[in-house]
Amino acid sequence: MKRINTAVIPAAGLGTRFLPATKAQPKEMLPLVDKPAIQHVVEEAVHAGLRDILIITGRGKRAIEDHFDRSFELEHYLEKAGKFEMLKEMQAIAEMANIHYVRQGEPRGLGHAVAVARQHVGDEPFAVMLGDDIMTGRSTVLSDMVTLHERYGRSVLALKEFPRNEISSYGCALVEAVDDSLVRVLDVVEKPKPEDAPSNLAVMGRYIFTPEIFDCLEQVQPGAGGEIQLTDAIALLLQQQTIYGYVFEEGRYDIGDKLDYLRATVELAIEREDLGPKFRTFLADLVQRKKLI
């Protein structure tokens, strides 16, 4: 059984849901408290044992590369100022994984972004992690999916239940139960109408793929806007081999959504030892004051 070592992180999107904040900076660099969103994703990959990271970038994304690179001027300043703990933290960012970059060239959909990774990934299984989906520190979704792949040798999709009236925002999976949180995927549909959805299980932004997904991506015909849909490639892969789904309940935020971005920021802040106690007090006081208004 080939072990998974590589995580592919598509990060070439324009971030239009967060304009004007993303007009001059990558959406992946928007901070959750004091850490860029994409760093949370990379740390999640490393925690799951994936230290070979390929980030799919595009024009205007140079800040991502700079963030994960060494900054000798900053390190020199921190050392000279005696800020050794912060210096150690900055050096760790550049050393946590082997990070590579390739440009998508033009935004032709998630499927096209994944296809760009073929030369780097080769004939190996790999993970795909969407930067808009942030898992809280206690989440073990990716680690559990890696374990399932090692057990069955097949692709694994992260799935989460949603109300029917929200399912049209996601890919949707028809499944049959296998064991506890494990299901076998029978079909996938991209953003179905609520009345046409095969289930209430939405495909989330964590995937484990066998390398055969690349051949399927080559067969997919462009859809609306010339985009290559990853869901269409998954449907083709289903015709060749079994795909499993891992159903989870908590710990995920869509930080491309403004409300979820705020929720993630608050939850991550209150869990921190340096901020949590005072921030909880502030939130409790805020709630009481707003009740009186």
Please answer whether residues 21 and 78 qualify as being in contact, where contact means their C-beta atoms are separated by less than 8 angstroms.
Answer: no
Amino acid letter at 122? G
Q: Are residues 224 and 290 in the same domain?
A: no
Q: Is 266 exposed, middle or buried (0-12, 13-18, 19+ CB in 10 A)?
A: middle
Q: Are residues 146 and 156 in the same domain?
A: yes
Those residues whose C-beta lies under 8 Å from the C-beta of residue 293, and which sit 6 or more positions away, are none
Residue 1 pLDDT level (bands cut at 50, 70, 90)? low
Answer yes or no: is pLDDT of 222 > 90: no
Mean pLDDT for the stretch of residues 123-132: 95
Mean pLDDT for the stretch of residues 193-200: 85
Strand-strand pairing, 98-103 and 52-57? parallel
Q: Is 58 exposed, middle or buried (0-12, 13-18, 19+ CB in 10 A)?
A: middle
Q: Are residues 270 and 138 in the same domain?
A: no
35 within domain boundaries: yes
User: Phi and psi of 168, rounded to 5°?
Assistant: -70, -5
pTM of the entire predicted model: 0.92
Answer yes or no: is pLDDT of 191 > 90: no
From residue 175, alpha-carbon distances to 146, 187, 248, 273 in Å are: 20, 7, 14, 41
Answer yes or no: is pLDDT of 171 > 60: yes
292 within domain boundaries: yes
Answer yes or no: is pLDDT of 134 > 80: yes
Looking at residue 105, its pLDDT comes to 79
**Mean pLDDT score across all residues of the chain:** 91
The tally of domains found in the chain comes to: 2
Both tokens of residue 5? Answer: 């070592």
Q: Are residues 241 and 270 in the same domain?
A: no
Q: Are residues 143 and 274 in the same domain?
A: no
Answer yes or no: is pLDDT of 274 > 90: yes
Residue 293 pLDDT level (bands cut at 50, 70, 90)? low
Domain span at residue 39?
6-256
